[in-house]
Structure 1
Amino acid sequence: MSSSTNQHLLFDHLIELRSRLLKAVLSVLVFFCSMIYFANDIYAYVSLPLLAVMPESGQMIATGVASSFFAPFKLTIVLAIFISMPYILFQIWSFIAPGLYRNEKKLMGPLMLGSSFLFYGGISFAYYVVFPIVFAFFTSVAPEGVNIATDISSYLDFVLKLFFAFGIVFEIPIVIILLCWTGFTTPKSLREKRPYVAVGSFVIAMLLTPPDIISQTLLAIPMLLLFEFGVFISSIYYTKSDDEHAEEENNE
């Protein structure tokens, strides 16, 4: 294949990549523009777990000059990215799919769908399970005479950090399946490393969450459960792969 042909193919791939990226960015802009009018309502909903456990004298405040505008604005941008994630993953899938084999395409489709589901599951777990417990603990241990007044920008940074942490951590089964699929490791090898995984889960939880034992534990335990789930699914895939190889050998 000549160098001019290679350059032409590379140019075509770059054009397609630009097209996919523009579509992904456009989807984020569409969702952002459709939600920006409700930015304050969205922030109010996200702040409910804290407001629900605050004492009567407690309140949320804006210490920055423009915090009351930029905090809901920033949250709306992040929410638009979250909602667009399945479409963004679809664009990634559409770009790499032509270079995959048929059996790889069969696996990648469910993985894309599963990764979106797990990402949203992690965010939902953080909002509905972790936040009420963590905020109830924080407000209950406040010294007597201290009026709780949380800055809205600080609160947003806190919850977004946990959203990303739980969203990413809930992708563990997908990572394990990919590692086993590519031959980097095997389910049997992963089972033998359970003690190290348990220690590593708490270390990662310590790095990804605020410095309190409650949120760290609430992240580490799902990590261990998701690890076991990923190993279980990988074992099923390995069994099916072995059966397919055996069937091919019999046919030969």
Structure 2
Amino acid sequence: MNQLIVAMFAVSSVFAMMLWRHHRYLQTTARQTNNNGEVSGDQLLGTDSMVSNRPGAHSLVLINLTLITIAGLVYSQLGHFSNWNKGFENEHIDYLIVAQINKDRRLASEQPTNPQVLKDLAHSYVQGGLYREAVETFDQLLAITGSNAEILGLKATSMYYRDGRSLGPETMAVIEEALDLYPAELNTRLLLGTDAFIHSNFDEAIAHWQVLLTNDNQNFNRNAINNAITRAKIAKEG
């Protein structure tokens, strides 16, 4: 945010300097015209008095401060950190993602029992790398919806990244619950297949992704899964 303030100040300062230089140019031109004893077309139209009444340096400073204030207010509405909880896992979040998180948090505070609102908030947390907050939000969602394979799969995935790409006992318990409800659940099989591939367990990765291809209840890119299977087979042979 400090970098943004510096940038806003620099841009507004350049803008103010341009106005000041233009003002000085008009004053110089007016003096030269008066010294030559000539009456310009602007004087005939009464605009010479307008030149003499243009804002001075103090007015330009006010313009500069006004520009910074307006920019700051716009930023505060789009995505600011003043209302943000401290101690994030990811402290360097794109301000657009922060803006979306703030928006979704406000909606969640207004509609705490709306499943879609909570799901959107959890997704925003994931986008920002705030997996701990995402897990907590998925828990709130599950308290409303009850056991749901898709939400459990999303929760398990957030737990996995929260724990540094580790499938601990707590995460495995959530995974088993999700697969008991729907063996081909998208997020769960993607997670298991990806983790297996990362650890060079290519047969296991292929098995998870092949099960995923039997999923007819959730939309996903089947070509991408087939390509992943092909890559795993090539890696296995290599």
Q: Same fold (TM over 0.5)?
A: no
Larger Rg: 2
Higher helix share: 1
TM-score per shorter chain, which class? under 0.3
Give TM-score, length-normalised by structure 1: 0.25
Give TM-score, length-normalised by structure 2: 0.26
Q: Which has the bigger relative contact order, CA under 8 A and spacing at least 6?
A: 1
